Structure 1
């Protein structure tokens, strides 16, 4: 697969503008929603106290900070992301918590020089499905990890394993301009749904001892929070930027009505259908 400057530019622009700003505002919600996945990734990647770990697509830094706590004072956790707004938030969180060994670097892990054989492990929570050239990205990450070092990341399985993800979009579609149909082979949320594809990418980029195991992560969320998330991030959010106030109100109403049947005891008991992928350098 050849790297696409257009795809890379799109990701950088999105996460430095609308996507990044929305995540900054919703950071508490995002961290809480993804905590069970964070725990699984950190546990799988942890190389031992005092070691060094790189966190790919670290966003607002939740996984980087969690790993830094595990590594202790002698360790190093480096978070890498393309989003300046998210990294500013991550650095502030690390400073407030006194985690001096949690550091952050701006750049695309597909091409960024993050050192050769510098890290004992690489990890990611939902941050590796957006590269324009997957083989090149994982080869670059592989170069940064010591021989025998760990790789652990979480990625989404099929849309069918995450049925609630499509409910708001389907409910609002008739009120909005035609939404783009996702290409399952293109960089994006479900790019790694096929475990055979994941294995092939990792094998070609120099990883071994590859395991792709299902992870069904509880992600309970309130109706209000899932509505907010649906309207602020993803395909609905992009379409709403061009909508008038009347349309936006109708979209919100449609999303709420579509999610109400899924509420149980005040909470939507959502489960994230993921793969937990591990390998060795």
Structure 2
């Protein structure tokens, strides 16, 4: 499956972080069903203390805070300063939330300080996932819970499969390591379970979650396809595959990707298939 190498961690405070921030509305629409499924699996309770790993702009942090209530507290951590600043600015006055720019894999965390560790697509980028989850488990109370959503394989997700397949005869795919840090590092179900077991978690469950997601948006079908194409060029593997390509190659790629999106249904957005794991475990 054509793809590109994963983003270096520092890039989340550079161009890629800026692109993600600029596309928040589109990305939240795309990820909405996955986030809601993960929140339901997490089942946050009033009074709980929660760590939101890779919180981004706070899209999952604020619903967690609503569940935790005034007697609870949610700490959102993310490596992107741009996204943390957006989250802080959006935080309602008096909400039981705090945002910190930090890497949850290594950041100082209170020992046995949380009832729940949660993440919406924020745990697939760790250089050493066993060490990262071991570190975070140390911040979980005895009997505490872990819940996160992560992507399955690239071949199962049309937001990658469609554009990358469309350009395979235009741009030579870069070699990749499927287990390298990146969006699809947790695509293998058994690998996810093995990582969590090695980190000391128990009662591990890795359940498939499939949905038809809305990619891009527009007042008309043509507008939606145009917006989907623009989004693919700004964030994700296609944007990285074409980053250093000349204008003629980018133009050919745009035509090919637009044709691929045009084959999918949808009037105000392009409807494509998405596939993830909903993962739960206990300390």
TM-score normalised to structure 2 length: 0.88
Distance 1:246 1:56 in 2: 40
How big is the shift at 1:19?
Answer: 1.2
Distance 2:108 2:50 in 1: 15
1:115 is aligned to 110
2:99 is aligned to 104
1:4 is aligned to none
| 1:192 has 2:189 as partner | no
1:236 is aligned to 238
Report the 3-state secondary structure (helix = DSSP H, G, I; strand = E; otherwise coil) of the residue aligned with 1:53.
Answer: strand
Deviations 1:153-177 (A, max 9, x none): 111122332245221122234444x
| 1:20 has 2:17 as partner | yes
The 5 Å alignment of 1:173-212 reads 173-176=168-171, 178-212=172-206
Report the 3-state secondary structure (helix = DSSP H, G, I; strand = E; otherwise coil) of the residue aligned with 1:209.
Answer: strand
Q: How many residues align?
A: 271
Report the 3-state secondary structure (helix = DSSP H, G, I; strand = E; otherwise coil) of the residue aligned with 1:50.
Answer: coil
1:252 is aligned to 254
Distance 2:66 2:8 in 1: 29
2:228 is aligned to 226
The answer to whether the 8 Å contact 2:160/2:237 transfers is no
Report the 3-state secondary structure (helix = DSSP H, G, I; strand = E; otherwise coil) of the residue aligned with 1:58.
Answer: coil
2:220 is aligned to none
The answer to whether the 8 Å contact 2:78/2:102 transfers is yes
Report the 3-state secondary structure (helix = DSSP H, G, I; strand = E; otherwise coil) of the residue aligned with 2:167.
Answer: helix
Deviations 1:219-239 (A, max 9, x none): 123423321221111232124
TM-score normalised to structure 1 length: 0.89
Unpaired segments ≥5 residues, structure 1: 1-6
Distance 1:163 1:29 in 2: 16
2:207 is aligned to 213
Distance 2:212 2:88 in 1: 28
Deviations 1:158-209 (A, max 9, x none): 2332245221122234444x33233112112221122111111111111111
